Amino acid sequence: MLKLARGEKLLIGVVHSLATPGAPRFSGDRGAILRRALDDARALVDGGCDALIVENFGDVPFFAGAVPPETVASLAMTLSTVIAIAGELPVGINVLRNDARAALGLCAATGAQFVRINVHTGAAVTDQGVIEGRASETLRERARLCPAVALLCDVHVKHATPLGRESARDAALDTLHRGLADFLILSGSATGSAPDPREIAPVRTAVGDAPILIGSGVDARNARQLLAKADGAIVGTSLKRDGRVSEPVDAARVAKLRKLFDSLGAR
């Protein structure tokens, strides 16, 4: 189960899947998807991550809602491969752009332990159009399929503009108390972009001890500031070779960030 350890910052490493069958950038080589996922998962485990999360990052442009069966099938294979490498470490899934139902099905089928949901409550204008949260459906499907799975839910997710004027603080409260999220995620405006540290403190004050994760942009330069009021981070880009999102994960970069996280301790 994904949980916070006393006195430690949670480091969740991202396995960015290459484009899956049916996606415009699919190479035609199904084996390449698994090989990259295997290599990245090993580097994240060896570097000291506390958990791993798989996402179909290569499948741009993303569907706003449900993804097709071939995407789910490919993710099931990748997720199973990563779970085998991760051993006792929790593994999660994010089905982009916002297919929480498919993510829960994958958890039920593979034993993955958590999901990331980009728009869980409220609505957002995105490059896929308007996406509406489906918390009511997600919570009921979780209860039916995989009750122990944790819901990691974004607040004002990246690559999106909230369809409304609520502050991050108010959105976080709704996500926590009305959406029943297990973890809250604060991210910047885009992949690899950090959130404004000034927005983190009021959210922390409002939600009390509810777990907060930074969902984008954390690296060795800003981790101390960003994690002062947060409990951990989901990290992808900065763990790649040369900090480039298209490159494989670099175990040395993971180990460096792990060491920094360990030096920070509890908030």
Show the tokens assigned to 202. Answer: 């009021």
Predicted local distance difference test score (pLDDT) of residue 243: 93
Distance separating alpha carbons of residues 91 and 84, to the nearest angstrom: 10
Between these two residues, 189 and 204, which has the higher pLDDT value?
204
Query: Is the separation of the CB atoms in 39 and 77 below 8 Å?
Result: no
What would the mean pLDDT of 147-175 be, rounded to a whole number? 94
Question: Alpha-carbon distance 221 to 191, whole Å?
Answer: 17
Q: What is the pLDDT of residues 19-55, one digit of tens each?
A: 999 999 999 999 999 999 999 999 999 999 999 999 9
pLDDT value at 1 more than 80 = no
Mean pLDDT, all residues of the chain: 95
CA distances from 50 to 112, 172, 259 (A): 14, 24, 12
Tens-place pLDDT, residues 57-116: 999 999 999 999 999 999 999 999 999 999 999 999 999 999 999 999 999 999 999 999
Distance (Å, whole) CA 138 – CA 144? 10
Measured between alpha carbons, how far is 224 from 28 in angstroms, rounded to an integer? 42
pLDDT for residue 6 is more than 90: no
Residue 266 has pLDDT above 70, yes or no: no
